[in-house]
Structure 1
Amino acid sequence: MPIYQIAIGTPGEASHPDALKAALAEFFSMLIFVFAGQGSGMAFNKLSNDGSSTPSGLLAAALAHAFALFVAVSVGANISGGHVNPAVTFGAFIGGNITLLRGILYWFAQLLGSVVACMLLKFATGGLEISAFALSSDISVWNALVFEIVMTFGLVYTVYATAVDPKKGDLGSIAPIAIGFIVGANILAGGAFDGASMNPAVSFGPALVSWNFTHHWIYWFGPLIGATIAALVYDNIYINGEITHEQLPVTDY
């Protein structure tokens, strides 16, 4: 990736009306996503006597997060780009698609949205416990770190392919549903092992409200590493590498 693509931004950017509106959109999108995603798990526990760790609980979590993220990305796409994830914002920064200062503003809004969503859930449910992300008993921190790296790589790679790539064409119209689908699929793959966060803000809200930061670093380092790899791979090979269909060899059958 050409280093000139990374931009710090100007001091006044953080107070620019457009940047503030975009950050507010990220706040609301994250609130919508976390409230629905975390809330669905709490509702399933209530209805099944704490059965969220069952196969049906995993399926419910995957569907709820896929649906909620599809909506959260859609409603923010025209204002902020619909990142709804500090790892996606970081990946966009690595590819030169957002400045550092604007990215920090997004991060603050995303983290705040997650915290507010969890606080609202705790109040609305009469004080039910907000569960922080945790590892299953047979998974080490390094196993979980690899899970988070690979799952977030898939997520950010999908974001680049469907939303960031200037050659996406009509594919951009399905970006929100593609992003929701990959998150839902990754939850089915990794949810039973480490909760399948792929999103530092989604992990931060429950951890802060429950005041449980056990292994919390995994849910930051894993997604940020995965996002960085995805951004570098896609940006260097498919965007700056300018690989097009016309460059591919033609085979006659």
Structure 2
Amino acid sequence: MPINRVAIGLPREDVVHPGALKAALAEFISTAIFVFAGQGSGMAFSKLTDNASNTPAGIIMASLAHAFGLFVGVSTATNISDGHVNPAVTFGAFLGGNISLLRGILYWIAQLLGSTVACLLLKFSTHGMTTSAFALSSGVNVWNAFVFEIVMTFGLVYTVYATAIDPKKDDVGIIAPLAIGFVVGANILAGGAFEGASMNPAVSFGPALVSWDWTNHWVYWVGPLIGGGLAGIIYNLFFITRTHEPVPSTSEF
């Protein structure tokens, strides 16, 4: 079971080690790049269309901006921190035994700070425009949004595992950032008109904090964490094969 491989970690190695701090900085920068592009595209479209961002054109613009921004964010951080750029991805990796708890918490802090700084920069550079918190559309209740977030984040983290974490990924590893960006863009096309399609607690946290709007905010944490956690456990349980070959004796050398 994946849960058997869950590790707490050591502060000296997973929190204060220079390698850990570099990885956290990479997560901070990549998350800021992603949120600045995604949130900024929505603010730009609202300005151009007099606050009519929740239209077919606005959804397509958000989908493209998030797909491109995440592609860049994951690509730039992959060689340093594995390019999570998302607390739900980090949580799924933790439950699958691929990152320690302490390193995961460090990533979460970096991701939330990156999102917040990106939103503050957007508010400053747009002369005080509102960084819109994620919200439900008319006729959509919190449980509809909750299921949306679980399903979409499951698809995202499942894609991360298949293309970036799976030890057998060598033949597809080069397309991992592209596939991850594509699945987020596709999910925004599917769920953006209903509840914003976050799939990422950090993406929701920054705008909510800067605009101080926490309406239904729990949906954008609990849904993605459940979806990401399920994807991590299921992919590890059914698709990752770990062989335990005996250590060769000296006579075999």
TM-score (normalised: structure 2): 0.94
8 Å Cα contact 2:132-2:208 kept in structure 1: yes
CA distance in 2, matches of 1:156, 1:2: 15
Which whole-Å deviations, capped at 9, do the CAs of 1:124-147 have from their partners, x for residues lacking one? 000011110000120111000000
1:2-17 matches, cutoff 5 A: 2-12=2-12, 13-17=14-18
Task: Give the equivalent residue in structure 1 for 2:221.
Answer: 220
Higher mean C-alpha deviation, range 161-170 or range 200-209 = 161-170
CA distance in 2, matches of 1:92, 1:213: 27
Identity %: 72
8 Å Cα contact 2:191-2:197 kept in structure 1: yes
Equivalent residue letter for 1:66? A
CA distance in 2, matches of 1:172, 1:231: 18
8 Å Cα contact 1:235-1:241 kept in structure 2: no
Over aligned residue pairs, what C-alpha RMSD do you find?
Answer: 1.0
Q: Which structure 2 residue ranges, 5 or more long, are not aligned?
A: 244-253
CA distance in 2, matches of 1:241, 1:11: 27
Number of residue pairs matched by the alignment: 242
CA distance in 1, matches of 2:128, 2:65: 22
CA distance in 2, matches of 1:227, 1:87: 5
CA distance in 2, matches of 1:64, 1:10: 38
1:65-84 matches, cutoff 5 A: 65-84=66-85
Task: Give the equivalent residue in structure 2 for 1:250.
Answer: none
8 Å Cα contact 2:2-2:97 kept in structure 1: no
TM-score (normalised: structure 1): 0.94
CA distance in 1, matches of 2:111, 2:241: 29
Task: Give the equivalent residue in structure 2 for 1:246.
Answer: none
CA distance in 1, matches of 2:190, 2:125: 30
SS in 2 for 1:78: helix
Task: Give the equivalent residue in structure 1 for 2:234.
Answer: 233
Asked if 1:31 is matched to 2:32, the reply is yes
Q: Which structure 1 residue ranges, 5 or more long, are not aligned?
A: 243-253
- In the TM superposition, residue 187 of structure 1 has moved relative to its aligned partner by 0.1
Return closer, same or farther for 1:169/1:194 CA change in 2, 3 Å cut-off. Answer: same
8 Å Cα contact 2:2-2:95 kept in structure 1: no
Task: Give the equivalent residue in structure 1 for 2:247.
Answer: none
- In the TM superposition, residue 2 of structure 1 has moved relative to its aligned partner by 4.0
CA distance in 2, matches of 1:16, 1:95: 23
